[in-house]
Amino acid sequence: MQYGLTDEQEMIAATVRSFVEKEIYPHEELVERTGEVPQEIADEIKRKTTELGFYACNFPESVGCAGLNHREFALVERELGRGSMALNHFFGRPQNILMACEGEQVERYLMPAVRGERMDALAMTEPGAGSDVRGMKCAAIRDGGDWVVNGTKHFISGAEHADFIIVFIATGEDQTPKGPKKRITAFLVDRGTPGFTIRDGYKSVSHRGYKNMVLDFDDCRLPDSQVLGEVDGGFEVMNTWLYATRITVATMSVGRARRAFDYALDYAATREQFGQKIGKFQGVSFQIADMITEIDAADLLTLAAADRLDKGLPANREIASAKLYASEMLARVTDAAIQVHGGMGLMDDYPLERFWRDARVERIWDGTSEIQRHIISRELLRALGA
């Protein structure tokens, strides 16, 4: 469904879809079986992405990138969503938050990241602080001209490949009528910094090969030059740049749902039972109708949220709605696709059981469905003074 897209935007979507089909699909079985992405495959994907002009396409022309707007980048992420996250990680979309780099940080972190010379990762979640960001216990304390950091982060995606990590750390505490409130600061932390280690995380049933890692800080010293943005200004940096991650989850959910739907549609049109194609039975045909309706609705909801960002309009509620609906839609569509296939849907002859497993995490990371519902309801009620 390409409602309201320009010819150029349709070309962007078609180009990335073709790339995923040719460069990502052929390696998915290997990654699924081994849980690893061979370095030569990762390098090849990165090289071809750069040649195509799409590496760091979410960054502006001012830093030498494609400068896609939010709607166009949503199309890129939607088509990447069709493929393995472990592999499309190397398509290269550095964290937009790096645009907050200043001074020498620009040449140390921002520019190498957008050129594909250094890879980044983002670290916020802790064993005791997921949705409750202010509950984080990883803390930095002033010592002379440095910050001394102690604590742990977990569920950190992409950290095994990262040359540096953008880490959100508690740097103080304010007393409020509602109790203590943590002050948060973003830091740029290089791999190999003394007192900082990256180790294997947990084995997940979702997105095999796209690993989560654990970060440990043991009296790790960081100078002020490693602060991204302002000291105690982590929430401002977060709110300015990290809204895009929820749109990414929504758009990728749409892409993956379309791929699952394509399998279901083809199977319904070719599989015969009781002397006719199973798509002729309402039990199957009605599922097909519901699937495409939900996919199209999620697609339009997501593109509309991205469009509001491009127009400079408030979009917090709309982004939360897109993330909520698209991630839950993906769960329903992958389940229905398996049901259409019957027992074969759970066999590894088809990737449907993988899509089904992968879908489960989309309702959790980058803000659970419950957090999205909180954001949506809060925005609506506040407008009425409640």
DSSP string across 186-202: EEEEETT-TTEEEEE--
Instruction: Work out the pLDDT band at 297, boundaries 50, 70, 90.
Output: very high
Assigned architecture for domain 7-115: Orthogonal Bundle (1.10)
Q: How far apart are the C-alpha atoms of 248 and 1, rounded to whole Å?
A: 18
Contact (CB, 8 A) for 7 and 75: no
* Predicted pLDDT at 209: 94
What residue spans in the chain does CATH classification 1.10.540.10 cover?
7-115
Identity (one letter) of the amino acid at 286?
F
Say whether pTM exceeds 0.85. yes
- Name the DSSP letter for residue 345: G
Please compute, for residue 38, the number of CA atoms within 13 A of its CA located in the half-sphere on the CB side: 9
Greater confidence (195 vs 176) lies with 195
Q: Which residues of 52-78 are buried (b: 16+ CB within 10 A; e: fewer)?
A: bebbbbbbeeebebbebebbbbbbbbb
Residue found by looking up tokens 């200043």 in the block: 102
Which stretch of DSSP H or E encloses residue 213? strand 212-223
Query: For residue 96, which phi and psi values (nearest 5 degrees)?
Result: -55, -25
- Note the pLDDT of residue 175: 84
Q: What is the pLDDT of residues 313-322, one digit of tens each?
A: 999 999 999 9
pLDDT single digits (tens) 229-248: 999 898 888 777 667 789 99
CA distance linking residue 201 with residue 85, whole number of Å: 17
Q: From CA 1, how far away is CA 313, in angstroms rounded?
A: 24
Does residue 79 carry a pLDDT above 90? yes
Q: Is the dihedral of CA 356, 362, 365, 370 positive or negative?
A: negative
DSSP bridge pairs for 120 = 164
What is residue 52's DSSP assignment? H
List, for residues 122-132, the tens digit of each pLDDT value: 999 999 877 77
Q: Return the biggest CA–CA distance within the chain.
A: 81
Q: What's domain 236-383's superfamily in CATH?
A: Butyryl-CoA Dehydrogenase, subunit A, domain 3 (1.20.140.10)
**CATH homologous superfamily, domain 120-235:** Butyryl-CoA Dehydrogenase, subunit A, domain 2 (2.40.110.10)
Question: Phi/psi class of residue 172: alpha, beta or left (left: φ > 0; alpha: ψ in -120 to 50)?
Answer: left
Residues 108 and 52 sit within 8 Å (Cβ to Cβ): no
Segment 298-317 mean pLDDT = 95
In the chain, the amino acid numbered 267 is Y
Give CATH 1.20.140.10 domain extents, the chain.
236-383
What is the distance between the alpha carbons of residues 81 and 83, in angstroms, rounded to a whole number?
5
94-148 confidence digits (pLDDT tens):
999 999 999 999 999 999 999 999 999 999 999 987 777 778 899 999 998 899 9
> Which single residue is written with the structure tokens 């109708």?
289
Where in the sequence of the chain do the CATH 2.40.110.10 domains occur? 120-235
Residue 181: φ, ψ to 5°: -130, 120
Q: Which residues of 262-271 are buried (b: 16+ CB within 10 A; e: fewer)?
A: ebbbebbeee
According to DSSP, residue 167 is labeled: E
What's the rounded Cα separation, in Å, for the pair 241 and 96? 6
